[in-house]
């Protein structure tokens, strides 16, 4: 293509965490840092007129998702370049959270999305420790310093503390969805019980804008940017390829 205008495609795959991902050949990339690099590349390239996020993460950490969401919001505000999300196989929980920062959201009819909620996985191994003859005797500075210790039952005070954290993060998630979808919070909360939805269900409920393919998302990005034609570029270590 001889046109100078570009649409940048940024893939978001794998679990969204703010840490390097370990692999067989050593430490991998930090997905949060890599995402920022790629957005910066799109921001600094005057020929890039819009961005399409291809979202396909199976899970995410709360803070990592929020950082990436805020990065998209900042990118749109500072560059005035549209960002369109295209949900692939799975864009639930943190992946859905991230999509809330975009101008338009596409999902395949077979996409699994939603899962609006927060979970803190805790374990009680006291049955096993009794069998093994193991007990926990921590030396601690305060009664809640070993909160979440799986070698003893959780106290009611500890449960209230952890539930309060989950509730706070959940309220933030609901606010992000309400703002991103322009839907009142009271309409979001019944949908935000942690369940997942197909793309078709999400469209019917107003959780995404359109059912379509990656090509549809590209065409919409071009339309919003006012382009008739554009080169499609992807990023590798922040450089256009």
- The residues that are catalytic are 93, 145
Closest CA to 180 of 206, 216, 211, 212: 206
Residue 210, strand partner residues:
106
The two beta strands, 231-236 and 239-240, are antiparallel
CA 94, CA 111: separation in Å to the nearest integer?
15
Question: Rounded distance, CA 56 to CA 91, Å?
Answer: 5
The SS3 call for residue 186 is helix
Structure tokens of 10?
């940024």
3-state class (DSSP) for residue 15: coil
* H helix runs in 13-56, sequence order: 31-44
Q: Which helix (H) or strand (E) holds 211?
A: strand 210-211
User: What residue has token string 């609901």?
Assistant: 174
Structure tokens, 169: 């993060």
- Residue 146 CB neighbour total at 10 angstroms: 14
Residue 226 burial (CB < 10 Å; 0-12/13-18/19+)?
exposed
């Amino acid at each position: 293509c001889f046109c100078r205008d570009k649409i940048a495609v940024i893939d978001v795959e794998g679990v969204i965490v703010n840490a390097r991902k370990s692999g067989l050949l050593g430490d991998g990339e930090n997905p949060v840092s890599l995402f920022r690099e790629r957005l910066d590349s799109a921001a600094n390239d005057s020929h890039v007129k819009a961005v399409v996020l291809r979202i396909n993460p199976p899970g995410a950490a709360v803070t990592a998702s929020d950082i990436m969401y805020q990065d998209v919001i900042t990118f749109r505000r500072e560059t005035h370049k549209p960002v369109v999300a295209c949900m692939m196989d799975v864009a639930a929980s943190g992946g859905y959270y991230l999509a809330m920062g975009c101008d338009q959201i596409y999902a395949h009819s077979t996409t699994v999305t939603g899962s609006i909620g927060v979970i803190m996985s805790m374990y009680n191994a006291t049955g096993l420790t009794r069998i093994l003859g193991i007990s926990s005797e921590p030396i601690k500075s305060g009664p809640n310093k070993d909160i979440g210790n799986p070698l003893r039952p959780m106290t009611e005070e500890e449960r209230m503390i952890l539930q309060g954290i989950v509730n706070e993060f959940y309220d933030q998630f609901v606010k992000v969805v309400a703002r991103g979808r322009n839907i009142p919070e009271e309409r979001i909360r019944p949908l935000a019980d942690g369940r997942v939805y197909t793309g078709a269900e999400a469209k019917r409920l107003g959780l995404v804008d359109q059912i379509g393919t990656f090509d549809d998302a590209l065409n919409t990005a071009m339309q919003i940017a006012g382009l008739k034609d554009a080169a499609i570029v992807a990023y590798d270590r922040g450089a256009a390829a």
